[in-house]
Structure 1
């Protein structure tokens, strides 16, 4: 936990006093592999760093419930986002355990709980709702100026939730869920009859590709994203229609196009219309999606474009690639490494893990 790094911080302070200070890296924060928000038994909230052996390396306080985070690519810094419709995001120095900045959504905006950095970490991009206009926005924040807001772009749709940067590029992909909400109505969905989910690709503030699902899929809200090294984008959906969703998982490639992944209706039903997180395996051959409502993680074969198998886990939501398999976390406190269909490592904590496991990739090493 945080106190375990007191000695490390004292050591760094000593180096600073001598005038020699190495550039801090994620190793100075305990070399976490993942970030995750959680609730403690006393009802307070924290952002945690989780190591490759699934140990909690730090737990830093948050003012309210968190959703996801963004890990800076070159220094041990994280931006923790409030659960939507939140209006704050906290910039945390994870090595020193201190707050560096607070991002506040401009008037008439709220965050959707996700963000992504540019390749060099100089810019942060946040998904936002212009709720009076019912339009999605991407906030642009300059990290070199203390996370000063310097621009905002149209997301190309309504209700932008997740955002990722395609590997090796500065192109962003945005999950426009298509659902209009307003703080005056809480989390009430205001436009189900007319919603239009989409994926948009944005570069230098301009939408360069817009991918709609089509009329038959119009009530499948695109919520969460994962990207593979070849530029493929996996997306998990949340069904807003009646009966059983036709499917809940898809893949898009900017050149190869759109594929909806096939699954037996009983397995789709088991997800209860809700994908909470999605991840590619490290080799890109599989996609894992989770449903806390259904208490299940499902794995899809990307080559066959279809469902492979279920892994039951109560209140599971967070998922990320790990080794040959996946790491997953649950609201009941467990963190597991799943290799194929077998739990390889399991840790039990007294924390209630929130929705996402965010990979930490240190580009400075």
Structure 2
């Protein structure tokens, strides 16, 4: 694979080959950040057979990544409250650009490209003012920051794009933080999470949870091919957590999904199946993967897996990762444990 990368890089320099695609990077199907036993961190490309195609070094712990829709480029984000994001050429393994959060900001670990790949949107904390912002970066100009706009709330974490256009959906978790206080949560009594839709950089719709659930931080998103949004939450209140998974369609109220097992108030990742019929959510705290029927809005089953967090759809299944080095299909196929401590998310290309 290394020789192939060097060959392609040399041909590109001469202008003798067309613009590279993801196939030229070995055809990875997924991206995931991981930690190594020596304390270093990497971004990995994983193929559909669950083989690790490449490991590219990161300067610190990663969280999620954004994959360019056509070019073999990945933007790897630091874990909150990180200030770096690296644009990586997944053919050569070279860092081609570094994004720095503006003064008074930090990233939340997530981002998404516009439909044509020309712009990258990043979730950010304006911690001096305690509000969320969406940064806009021009991919054609080596990821120069060109704009920003309101996220519609506090603590924007995940961000996705709805299919068929450039409508964005943002998970505003509602939690105010400040780097001077580390990862401390500063406004739990007054937090108000919401799901915000943004079109043309203006808010087109916002959805809040019932008042008694205002401490249920909306964190992670999955979007179906029909525009349905599934979201996972993290409970910041006392006592037993309420529903931690919900579905939403624009113009309607959120539909809360009740589960049978205790997820310890924490959903780490969420994914929708390709046909939109199933939802998979993970909780590293509970060591569980939970499955829901998205068409009936009912709980299905759970699978125990220590420190599980990353989850993504496959063609007819789900893939999960764990901090113990496991990478497996939920249907049963598991690769041998690797010296890779998989981080929170598994990003499908």
TM-score interval, smaller chain: over 0.9
2:151 to 134, 155, 161: 155
Matched, 1:316 2:298: no
Q: What pairs with 1:123-202 in structure 2 (closer than 5 Å)?
A: 123-202=119-198
Partner Cα distance (1:201, 1:17) in 2: 41
Partner Cα distance (2:15, 2:244) in 1: 55
Q: Residue in 1 aligned with 2:345?
A: 356
Shift of 1:21: 1.2
Matched, 1:70 2:66: yes
Q: Is the 8 A contact 1:39 1:46 kept in 2?
A: yes
Matched, 1:37 2:33: yes
Q: Residue in 2 aligned with 1:97?
A: 93
Partner Cα distance (2:252, 2:181) in 1: 40
What are the superposed Cα offsets for residues 116-150 of structure 1, whole Å, 9 maximum, x if unpaired?
A: 00011100000000001000000000001110000
SS at match of 1:346: coil
Distance 1:241 1:27, change over 3 A: same
Matched, 1:282 2:274: yes
Partner Cα distance (1:20, 1:257) in 2: 54
Shift of 1:338: 1.3
Distance 1:16 1:305, change over 3 A: closer
Shift of 1:349: 1.2
SS at match of 2:5: helix
Matched, 1:298 2:294: no
SS at match of 1:257: coil
Q: Is the 8 A contact 2:326 2:334 kept in 1?
A: no
What are the superposed Cα offsets for residues 317-345 of structure 1, whole Å, 9 maximum, x if unpaired?
A: 00000122100000000100113xxx134
SS at match of 1:163: strand
Q: Is the 8 A contact 1:161 1:175 kept in 2?
A: yes
1:106 to 75, 91, 102: 102
Partner Cα distance (2:99, 2:52) in 1: 26
Q: Residue in 2 aligned with 1:336?
A: 328
Partner Cα distance (2:128, 2:344) in 1: 27
2:4 to 2, 8, 11: 8
SS at match of 1:52: coil
Distance 1:146 1:193, change over 3 A: same
Distance 1:24 1:242, change over 3 A: same
Distance 1:224 1:11, change over 3 A: same
Q: Residue in 2 aligned with 1:225?
A: 221
Q: Residue in 2 aligned with 1:20?
A: 16
Q: Residue in 1 aligned with 2:82?
A: 86
Q: Is the 8 A contact 2:6 2:92 kept in 1?
A: no
Query: What are the ranges of 5 or more consecutive residues in structure 2 without an aligned counterpart?
Result: none
Partner Cα distance (1:116, 1:272) in 2: 29
Matched, 1:242 2:231: no
Partner Cα distance (1:161, 1:13) in 2: 35
Partner Cα distance (1:18, 1:112) in 2: 39
Distance 1:17 1:148, change over 3 A: closer
SS at match of 1:190: coil
Distance 1:284 1:108, change over 3 A: same
Matched, 1:49 2:38: no
Query: What are the ranges of 5 or more consecutive residues in structure 1 without an aligned counterpart?
Result: 361-365
Shift of 1:9: 2.2
Distance 1:101 1:309, change over 3 A: same
What are the superposed Cα offsets for residues 156-184 of structure 1, whole Å, 9 maximum, x if unpaired?
A: 00000000000111000000000000011
Q: Which moved more, 1:344-353 or 1:282-291?
A: 344-353
Shift of 1:346: 3.1
